[in-house]
């Protein structure tokens, strides 16, 4: 299987780069290699839905193991202000989308849905029903995810304060990744892996049953957090090669979305889209870093907790460093919930805005694009 061979090759290269200090090499190499495969392929290549969902579930279990009540209590005061940046992110997203639409390269609905930071799968799936060009929306959404995924480990490393002592920000030993044959941090490997798989499967199933957004990720994460908080079991979080492979697959999943057909259809918009994404990420990142000393958290933690999207990759990247995973995963999860809850309100506003805009502007300036099948379910 091509994905399996590529993943092993990426792991081998990462083993060389990681000791040299490269941030999250598995994630970044996976992303770039995935994009290269998608752009070179003559037919659409995509990771199977089963693998994608499975990887998200296992990442959820891994992150949930860090959500310990005693640790979260120490940063409770910082969580609300950082989460409220979601509203600032939404306002900025809409404002930047209006500027993008005024360039004449796309209509207002497409620009707004493409720029909204959070719930990329949900936004993409509803784009066609709202009258937007779903191909452009998908391209903008997953370009944002890719840019943030690639930038997060690099930016976090550049702005991080010097480490003090041998403990990570999550209150335990440093979480920096290391190569080990142990797949979970406990003596009985079979028991640990079994618990991991059960939490992933049950969490995903329960989340789907109650209609939780991003069920594959959030269900296992919340169930794992509950199990950890109650002290029911331990030592089930993916580690060593198990964890490294998950990081590779997260990167590949994002990269493989950039197939040649999609990029060809929107290539004239690429500079504009990239500029808008960098502007949004830069403003939010700047606010978060400025708030960090006031809230008593590190600059890197504040930045990773508030990145406008890319939750899978950001959490995976944070798990390879001394980041405060409890704070980052909690704020990112709350941000995702808020964005999904805000989506219906945004839909109604866009529908009214579009109707008024259509009445006042009869001659469209954007080039029509053929309507494709949905991207990024």
pLDDT-derived band at 338, boundaries 50, 70, 90: confident
Strand partners, 173: 167
373 has a pLDDT exceeding 90? no
Percent of the chain with pLDDT over 90: 14
pLDDT-derived band at 167, boundaries 50, 70, 90: very low
Contact at 8 Å (CB) between 86 and 339? yes
The closest alpha carbon to 38, from 252, 289, 275, belongs to 252
Percent of the chain with pLDDT over 70: 82
The closest alpha carbon to 134, from 113, 104, 108, 119, belongs to 113
Contact at 8 Å (CB) between 307 and 148? yes
pLDDT at 285: 92
Stretch 232-253: mean pLDDT: 87
The pTM (predicted TM-score) of the whole model is 0.70
CA distance 71 to 324: 9
Q: How many CB atoms lie within 10 A of CB 364?
A: 11
| 138-147, 256-265, 275-284: segment of lowest average pLDDT | 256-265
pLDDT at 42: 59
CA distances from 133 to 73, 114, 123, 138, 208 (A): 44, 9, 12, 9, 28
- Inter-helix orientation angle 299-306/134-159, to 10°: 170
195 has a pLDDT exceeding 90? yes
pLDDT at 69: 67
- CA dihedral for 282, 60, 125, 213, sign (positive or negative): negative
pLDDT at 178: 47
């Amino acid at each position: 299987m091509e994905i399996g061979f590529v993943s092993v090759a990426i792991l081998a290269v990462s083993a060389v780069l990681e000791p040299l200090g490269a941030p999250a090499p598995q994630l970044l190499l996976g992303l770039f290699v995935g994009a290269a495969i998608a752009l070179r392929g003559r037919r659409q290549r995509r990771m199977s839905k089963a693998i994608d969902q499975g990887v998200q579930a296992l990442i959820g279990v891994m992150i949930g193991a860090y959500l310990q009540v005693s640790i979260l209590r120490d940063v409770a005061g910082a969580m609300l202000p950082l989460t409220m940046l979601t509203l600032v992110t939404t306002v900025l997203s809409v404002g930047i989308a209006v500027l993008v639409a005024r360039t004449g390269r796309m209509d207002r609905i497409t620009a707004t849905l493409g720029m909204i930071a959070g719930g990329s799968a949900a936004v993409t799936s509803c784009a066609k029903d709202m009258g937007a060009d779903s191909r452009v929306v998908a391209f903008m959404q997953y370009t944002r995810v890719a840019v943030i995924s690639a930038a997060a480990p690099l930016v976090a490393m550049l702005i991080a304060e010097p480490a003090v002592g041998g403990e990570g920000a999550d209150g335990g030993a440093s979480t920096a990744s290391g190569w080990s044959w142990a797949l979970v941090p406990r003596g009985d490997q079979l028991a640990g892996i079994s618990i991991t798989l059960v939490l992933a499967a049950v969490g995903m199933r329960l989340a789907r049953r109650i209609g939780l957004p991003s069920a594959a990720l959030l269900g296992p994460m919340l169930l794992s957090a509950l199990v950890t908080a109650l002290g029911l079991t331990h030592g089930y979080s993916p580690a060593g090669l198990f964890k490294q492979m998950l990081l590779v697959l997260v990167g590949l999943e994002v990269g493989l979305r950039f197939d040649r057909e999609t990029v060809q259809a929107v290539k004239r918009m690429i500079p504009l889209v990239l500029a808008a994404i960098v502007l949004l990420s830069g403003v939010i990142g700047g606010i978060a870093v400025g708030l960090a000393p006031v809230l008593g958290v590190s600059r890197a933690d504040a930045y990773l907790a508030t990145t406008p999207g890319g939750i899978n990759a950001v959490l995976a990247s944070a798990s390879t460093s001394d980041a405060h995973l409890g704070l980052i995963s909690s704020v990112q999860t709350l941000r995702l919930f808020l964005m999904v809850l805000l989506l219906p309100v945004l839909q109604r506003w866009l529908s009214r805005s579009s109707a008024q805009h259509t009445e006042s502007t009869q001659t469209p300036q954007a080039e029509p694009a053929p309507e494709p099948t949905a991207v990024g379910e």
